[in-house]
Structure 1
Amino acid sequence: ENSLYEGMETSLRFLHSQIKSHLGICTTKPADTAQKILEMFELDQLFEFVSGGVIGIEKHQQLERLLHDGTISRSSLMIGDRFIDIRAARHNQLRSAAVLWGYGSRAELEREEPSYLLQSPSQIKELVD
């Protein structure tokens, strides 16, 4: 079962409409599963791409491919709730924001030294200039 964290939809819609941020998803889930979740919450129109996991490809390699293809740039911000997200960003010299409302623990995330540590979805808006 999937649910949205409180404040997440508001933050995503703000980033998309007010800031004109280019939003994408880089997940270890299969791309079609992630796409279905976005559609279920009527958020699919906010995202320019969904990069899904492939067996044998690590998260940092997914980001590397997105950079190489020009899908994302070095100014991109990786937002994640697990250590692997933050580590993948660092591996590719990208800024990262670790979120405390997901699956990873504070200790797990802090060990990876993210650029930002967020306690609520509303803080995401503060990262975009």
Structure 2
Amino acid sequence: MSRTTLFFDLDGTLIDSAVGITRCVAHALERMDHPVPPQEELRRWIGPALRTSFAPLLGEAARVERAVEHYRERFESHGWSEHEIYPGIGEAVIALRQAGHRLAVVTAKNEPHARRIVEHLPFGDCFDDIVGATADGAISHKPELIAEALQRLSLRAPDCTMIGDRHMDIEGARHHRMRGVGVLWGFGGEAELRAAGADALARNPRHLLDLLAA
């Protein structure tokens, strides 16, 4: 297995966070007196930056910021713990670390929230750093987040691989001309990941290990 640095997305890749995220979105919209979309539509909020999803519904920047505050309010009290670890991903992460890979989490989730979650994962200590969105949204999209990770860890993009379940992960990797591996157990699906230009698709965590060894 050739050693490289692996950037893991969080939601939909390491954890199934659908319950926490959708409940927090619903809470924020209710506080804004805005109708809450159906559950299937709320699931599409998993992956993009919060402001990207709130803006089309709420319009004014000030209303978007208030919605983000309401979301974070519930996430800090309840949402951060409302997730499940995908079967087999912890074992895969540990195996990759033991094989000599350097690992980091690169997520559009607010960085303090992401750190809190990863620190509570049984394999959280496998990651050298957790890179997430800034509170003001200045760094919140995958190209910016990957750039921040590269800078913090003093890495070259060709020496890294981005692993994630949504088109934003793959598009972020392509922006930096690094390898992008899509995972099929998250929220994006095969068609979305192929359309984004994924270099490979992992059916399950065991398959991910095989792909990264190739």
- The TM-score with structure 2 as length reference comes to 0.56
| TM-superposed deviation, 1:8 | 0.4
| TM-superposed deviation, 1:112 | 0.8
Task: Report percent identity of matched pairs.
Answer: 29
Match of 2:209 in 1: 125
* Residues 56-92 of structure 1: per-residue CA shift (max 9 Å, x gap): 3321012123224444332111000010000000000
Count of residues paired in the alignment: 128
CA RMSD of aligned residues (A): 1.5
CA distance in 1, matches of 2:93, 2:195: 27
CA distance in 2, matches of 1:32, 1:128: 32
Match of 1:5 in 2: 86
1:15 aligns with 2:15: no
Runs of 4+ in 1 over 4 A off after TM superposition: none
Match of 2:170 in 1: 86
| TM-superposed deviation, 1:44 | 2.1
Match of 2:193 in 1: 109
Give the secondary structure class of the aligned counterpart of 2:129: strand
- Of structures 1 and 2, the larger Rg is shown by 2
User: Do the aligned residues in 2 keep the contact of 1:26 with 1:50 (CA within 8 Å)?
Assistant: yes
Of residues 53, 64, 68 in structure 1, which corresponds to 2:133? Answer: 53
Match of 2:145 in 1: 62
CA distance in 2, matches of 1:66, 1:12: 18
CA distance in 1, matches of 2:122, 2:88: 15
CA distance in 1, matches of 2:203, 2:126: 23
